Amino acid sequence: MLSVNIKMKTPAADRFIAFASIAALGMFTLTISFVRAQAFTTASASGSSAPSYSKTGELLFPSKYREWIYLSSGIDMNYNPKSASVDTPSHSTFDNVFVNPESYKTFLDSGAWPDKTVLVLELRGAQNKGSINQSGYYQSSVLKGIEMHVKDETRFPGKWAFFGFDNDNDVSGKLIPQSASCYSCHSEHGAVDTTFVQFYPTLLGIADKKGTFSPAYRKELRAAVPAKADPILR
Ligand code: HEC
């Protein structure tokens, strides 16, 4: 043993020590990068998808929502029966709906929204004069507003809550009180769990197949198409 130790005190031994130190440094750096990567994944998961809140209970703006799953666009949708046939708005509005990717995947499998679902409604003006366009409308780059519908079962009394944002630079959005009409219209008319899946073409068939329509929506369907009733698409 002793002779080995003595023999190690050679240039080869020095090289070995140098190599071992570099390897150790390398491992250390790798560990640090791994830890940092993990921290980043966690931060971006909570920052861009699962809802997070400010200290005062405002919803932090999910800045990556434009990279989420696109569900639908409505134009000049009007929910007021009296004005529906009469009003042609002078300024048309598009609404675009997005949902966080994890919840979309769960919906594809189950026809239901999991906890921590975030749905975004983005409102944009309609334009018809620009570039080569001769007729029809395209969406303006100017935002008219953003609203969000968040499922956070332990946080909100009815499991869901609405938040309003003024624009896409907003740091956080205000909680809309439970007494607002948002809550009653969505729970009375939304096809699945207070959301308007009846207007989201890639999800309607799934909810139908999985049998997850709300009782209110089933009733609405029966009244509208008594002969067919539900399931509507089969
Ligand atoms: C009279 C009914 C009605 C009222 C009131 C209403 N909504 Fe909606 N909402 C709808 C319909 C219909 C859609 C589907 C839009 C589409 O298809 O583009 C929708 C979609 C949404 C979505 C997309 C996600 C989802 O739940 O389907 C959000 C977010 C939203 N509304 C927020 C609000 C907020 C915030 C308020 C209150 C300030 C509100 N809504 C009030 C009918 C309503």
Q: Where are the domains of the chain?
A: 1-47, 59-233
Contact indicator for 76, 93 with CB cutoff of 8 Å: yes
Residue 17 pLDDT exceeds 80: no
pLDDT (0 to 100) of residue 231: 60
Instruction: Say how far apart CA 144 and CA 44 lie, in whole Å.
Output: 27
92 contacts 128 by C-beta, under 8 angstroms: no
Measured in whole angstroms, the distance separating CA 197 from the mean position of its chain's CA atoms is 14
Task: Judge if the beta carbon of residue 191 lies within 6 A of ligand 1.
Answer: no
Please state which of the four CATH numbers 3.30.750.24, 3.40.50.720, 3.90.850.10, 3.50.70.20 is assigned to the domain occupying 59-233: 3.50.70.20
- Of 41-45, 77-81, 100-104, the range with the highest mean pLDDT is 100-104
User: Which residue lies with its CA nearest to atom 38 of ligand 1?
Assistant: 182
Distance CA 156, CA 172 (A): 17
Sign, CA torsion 112/115/116/118 = positive
Residues whose CB falls within 8 Å of the CB of residue 47, separated by 6 or more in sequence, listed in order: 60, 62, 63, 64
| Confidence at residue 225, expressed as pLDDT on a 0 to 100 scale | 72
3-state secondary structure of 159: coil
Q: Residue 163 CA: which ligand 1 atom is closest?
A: 35
Residue nearest to atom 6 of ligand 1 (CA): 182
- Residue 158's CB is within 10 A of a number of other CB atoms, namely 12
pLDDT in tens, 111-166: 999 999 999 999 999 999 999 999 999 999 989 999 999 999 999 999 999 999 98
